[in-house]
């Protein structure tokens, strides 16, 4: 009887040790994967400036507000999950009547017809282009010159000499949103100005000016 009880205790003890070891291995595996993801994330964040990165940065804060997902979506294309792409697709169709390549091209032409592009309009155009690229309604190569021109027009403004000033100009030029919408944009802008994983804190304005 005592031998039987002893054997049960030993089996339980061995089972617990095996369970602990399995948990330890799983935790170690999770930690390695997390470290790998963080290293890749840091590599992307710290990579040299490119037109792709600038187009995404200047498409904020609308991209921050309207496209859910990981912060990596503010730094590179094709980083959206299927659910995030569906959300982005729904918003484009709802707000801008963009549902495919043709309607996207038409929307861009309509925005290009503005006599004078404010920071707000230029940023909205960049938001449209970058989102369309993510949804494969267009390629960045097709709109490379357009993106370059829009960014240059923003950076060369006398009134825009920092990300903070870009943010203020964006909000000031917003003729679409009501008071609540403007508050949401202001909160998103403040987040972008403060978060360490934001293009507005990762990219020095001087480097942006010197890019072109």
Among the listed ranges 6-10, 50-54, 171-175, which one has the minimum average pLDDT value? 6-10
Q: How far is residue 196 from each of residues 50, 76, 130, measured CA to CA in Å? A: 19, 16, 22
Q: What is the 3-state secondary structure (H, E, C) of the chain?
A: CHHHHHHHHHHHHHHHHHHHHHHHHHHHHHHHHHHHHHHHHHHHHHCCCCHHHHHHHHCCCHHHHHCCCCHHHHCCCCCCCHHHHHHHHHHHHHHHCCCCHHHHHHHHHHHHCCCCCCHHHHHHHHHHHHHHHHCCCCCCHHHHHHHHHHHHHHHCCCCCCCHHHHHHHHHHHCCCCCHHHHHHHHHHHHHHHHCCCCHHHHCCHHHHHHHC
Q: What is the pLDDT of residue 104?
A: 96
pLDDT at 31 (0 to 100):
73
154-200 pLDDT tens trace? 999 999 999 999 999 998 876 555 555 678 888 899 999 999 889 99
Return the structure tokens found at 79.
């980083």
**Cα angle: 27, vertex 33, 39; to 5 degrees:** 135
| Number of helices and strands in the chain (H, E) | 11, 0
Give the integer Cα–Cα distance in Å for 212 and 208: 8
Q: What is the pLDDT at residue 19? A: 65
Q: Which two tokens stand for residue 156?
A: 């060369």
Q: pTM for this structure? A: 0.82
pLDDT given at position 183: 80
Query: CB under 8 Å to 114, separation ≥6 — which residues?
Result: 121
Based on C-alpha coordinates, what's the Rg of the chain?
A: 24
């Amino acid at each position: 009887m005592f031998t039987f009880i002893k054997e049960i205790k030993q089996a339980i003890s061995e089972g617990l040790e095996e369970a602990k070891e399995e948990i330890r291995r799983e935790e170690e595996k999770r930690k390695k994967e997390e470290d790998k993801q963080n290293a890749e994330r840091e590599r992307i964040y710290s990579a040299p400036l490119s037109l792709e990165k600038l187009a995404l940065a200047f498409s904020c804060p609308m991209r921050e507000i309207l496209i859910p997902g990981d912060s990596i979506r503010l730094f590179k294309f094709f980083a959206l999950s299927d659910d995030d792409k569906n959300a982005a697709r729904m918003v484009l169709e709802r707000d801008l009547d963009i549902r495919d390549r043709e309607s996207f091209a038409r929307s861009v032409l309509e925005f290009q017809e503005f006599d004078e592009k404010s920071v707000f309009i230029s940023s909205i155009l960049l938001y449209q282009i970058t989102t369309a690229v993510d949804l494969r309604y267009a390629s960045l190569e097709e709109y490379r010159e357009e993106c370059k021109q829009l960014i240059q027009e923003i950076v060369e403004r006398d009134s825009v000499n920092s990300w903070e000033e870009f943010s203020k100009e964006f909000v000031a030029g917003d003729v679409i949103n009501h008071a609540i919408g403007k508050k949401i944009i202001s909160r998103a802008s403040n987040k972008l100005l403060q978060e360490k994983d934001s293009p507005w804190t990762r990219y020095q304005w001087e480097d942006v000016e010197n890019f072109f």
